[in-house]
Chains A and B, each alone.
Chain A
Amino acid sequence: QLEPEGFLATEEGVNSLLNAAFAEGYINGYEGKNRVMLENWSTDIEWETDGAENRTASQVTNFTLDASLDWLFGTMWLRPYRAIRNANLLLDNIDKATISDEDKAVYVAEARFIRVLSYVHLYSWFGSVPLRTSSNDPLELPRAEDAVLRQFIADELLAVAKVLPDPGSEKNYGRPNKGAAMALLCKFYLNTKQWQKAADQAQALIDLNLYSLYANYENLFKVENERNSEFILVNPQSPQGAGMNYMNGAFPPGFASDPRTGLTMRSNWANWAAQYRLYDTFYNSFDDDDNRRNLILTRYINTQGATVSLLNNNNTRSFKYWPDANAIGNEHGNDMSEIRYADILLSRAEALNELNGPNQESIDLVNQIRQRAGLGAKPLTIGQFSSKEDFREHLLKERGWEFYAEVGIRREDLIRMDRFIASAHERGKTNAQDYHRFFPIPQAALDADPSLAQNEGY
């Protein structure tokens, strides 16, 4: 254990503290998986059975969750606030450290990025939350005004995007870059329905000419291709202890091999009790030619040599994060993208539609995505969409096909397009009510802070 004063006066100390902010701010490992599942299990694509996780999943899927839900506190609340704490501590002390001004500026921007990333997450999950920007802020801090937090997020992202290095020129792969800040801002504008700003920000990213769609969707998520031109904001994973955990629940019981691809179970992969399943309605909504559907497992050969079909039982599996041959137990190395270039293209398409209704630019943007999905022969045309709502509905579907099982996207899409509760009701989840668009503030956080009020409805 080290004393703080001397430690933060050195570049090594500052860097080590910043790394702790990265470690808390980006998702990885079991907790990272928890976050993805908590968000995805309330959507129209994924659900879960079996394993101890079902005790949590059944509450999320059935909209019976309350403030005691165990994964909320550590993963969704404490982690971002620890990232914020570490970033604030760095920002409060960096002036005393002997670091060149140039490097200092980057450290500051990186710390501010990880801090604002955490606020973007918190805002999406819980609504407006206490805004802590210095380690000297009072212990008790009420929720910030919604407008104040929004403004803070936008200002911070705009500011750090000017300082952060271009993608590829970061000191290490995994540190924030300019593109990540711009993409996060674009998505924040989109999710807060600031359509023009979202469209502009997307265009700015496109104009950087640094990103492009990766040619082969099926290979995009494989560990060997994780450094690519499409991933913009990435949660790095490592098999050495903080890896991608999704596959452990995606493997069906007794999985031995996939007859289609020849993928064969390895002894270094874990196959959990928990079963991460996709709804048949979702699987069946794909066009037969859509190669994005290929990353969904529909049948397999089990350890007893029998071929088991997963169809028609809401039991298909996302094998998007194709298992890592070098995985160690639960941990696979596949980095988990949070925002990729396809999302930026579709975001601009959506923002323009919200502003102007169906328009050719939006159609073209979507067709870029469809082209890559093997649907080049089936492009969209503007004539297919009679209204803004009509095109929005298609965008929701298109986004589902493109981004299923990815980090955070589906829940935000459904909420933004006002389909979150309605689609739950369509699935028979009659407990779903408007207030479920936010998660409850975890009970332990409420118990510890009299100034914090629970989200309405919980």
Chain B
Amino acid sequence: MNAFRFSWPGRVPASRSPLARYRRQLWLLLAPFLAGALLLIGLPALLTFGLAFTRYDALTPPVWSGWANFAAILQREVFWIAARNTLVFAGAAALLQVLGALGLALLLHPARRGVHLYRGGVYLTTILPDVAYALIWLWLFNPLYGPVNLVLGGIGLPQPAWLIDPATALPSLIAMAAFRVGEGMLLLIAARQALPAAYYQAAMLDGAGRWAIFRHITWPLLVPWLLLLFVRDIVVAAHSTFTAVYIMTGGGPGYATTLLPYLVFEEAFSHLRIGQAAAMLTLLFAAIALFVWFVYRRLGAWGYADDL
């Protein structure tokens, strides 16, 4: 829309022309967003970055300490445990979410009667408040009378202790995250419906089976969307786990479910080691930015834009 690109005729000075006035009005409408983004996200993020280089306990003014915080956290075992946990959690949860969303989208993409109800039912878990979702799963995973173990016991399978056992605690959180796939499903349904029906008709005339059609038509055409979704899910999984950990495990047992956002919260608000917390956040953000940049470059090299 290049509506306002034409030049304004007449002798009016450029700054007073109606067009310039309209432009100024547009910027005025945009001002709250820009101001809010600057004050509530931009500056705070920069301040966090700055605090990473100071010693600060919220009581006395921050003292410049150079790279000391980074050196300190890199030597702390709990940071490495949390980093490893975050990596495992984000990778596994994102993979399961993408595969789950793909399976659901392939099942629920046809426009048939009742399909809205099914999609709505699947999407419902995604819109629940984080606290409620975490508390529900805390109950589902209760080793003694939680429904998951009641079902497993009912069909004679072993009943793990889930969140109580260090070996199954992190996988439990991953399983819980894997059920929130509503947005990915909607995206992939839209992407699947946008694929030309002619491809499928041609393949069926050639007598191709379901697997062959999926393997040679659906999969290659959906791969760009799957990658996009995977990147998004990894980013979200890496930094939106605080509530679940805080409500369900408190980082335990031991440090089995200590993920970086929770560790940052504990460092900053419980131990008042704000400089170290900020340094951890800086590293987390740098890792995410590097990952996104890397994927973006690779996708560009694959001619990603053409596939869209």
Q: Do A and B bind each other?
A: no
Interface set of A (CB-CB < 8 Å, partner B): none
Interface set of B (CB-CB < 8 Å, partner A): none
